[in-house]
A = this chain, B = another copy of it.
């Protein structure tokens, strides 16, 4: 069985490249479950109900997010109505949405998708390590396939959580830095791991944003209004192959499409 995970879809260029290629990837690669991080899918900042529905219509089964999920107020209600759109589960329980979705893949296998967020150089929400324990405890024993999008800034927090969960989930892929890492591997106890999936969007940019503005911000340290960039669009994903009887991963492979 195979899971496809697509990294932070950034603005309309990111949505377009997904629209153009997703069905082909699913078919060519025999994907049973297609997940994507949508925290930047609406203009680069957040996600709206319309944008989420557009992404589901392309064939994505579950959407994860991260710190930017709160950027657009109109999504707050929708988070309560649409269980397939996750927000990091370790934000306060009083907030809309949850960090866990369980469903059935195209091949009929039950799966759980989780979404958590790091706390190093990010808001001090609940402990992602303990929240991972808690989410896992709430998943029925017969659900073997468990995937986590861990949205975090620093490599140490991501790898530490990877080791913490090794053997307990099928795969963990990081998001948020918008640059793919080259460290895909199946950890010794069977959890597929990659520190960051990388952004799906315009790479003629600084992590999606029009690059001259960001350079000016570094030079002046002034607040700036950021605009989404447009060119050098790439799709970055990982494909995890797993044994659905045990939930253990057998392979993890980065998967990228570059338009130029």
Q: A39: CB under 8 A from chain B?
A: no
Is A220 in contact with chain B by the CB < 8 A criterion? yes
Interface size on A, residues (CB 8 A): 49
A53 on interface, CB distance cutoff 8 Å = no
Contacts A119-B124, A155-B207; A219 near B179 (Cβ below 8 A): no
- A181 vs B222: C-alpha distance when bound (angstroms): 28
Q: Are B222 and A95 in contact (CB under 8 A)?
A: yes
Is residue A25 contacting chain B, with contact meaning CB distance below 8 A?
no
Report the nearest B residue to A209, measured CB to CB. B156
Q: In the complex the two chains form, is A125's CB within 8 Å of B221's CB?
A: yes
Q: A91-B221, A124-B124 are in contact. Are A181 and B180 (CB under 8 A)?
A: yes
Q: How far is it, in angstroms, between the C-alpha of A224 and the C-alpha of B211 when the chains are bound? A: 27
State the Cβ distance, A174 to closest chain B Cβ, in Å.
10
Interface residues of A (CB under 8 A from B): 70-71, 91-92, 94-95, 119-121, 123-127, 129-130, 153-157, 159-161, 163-164, 177-183, 195-196, 198, 206-207, 209, 211, 214-215, 218-223, 254
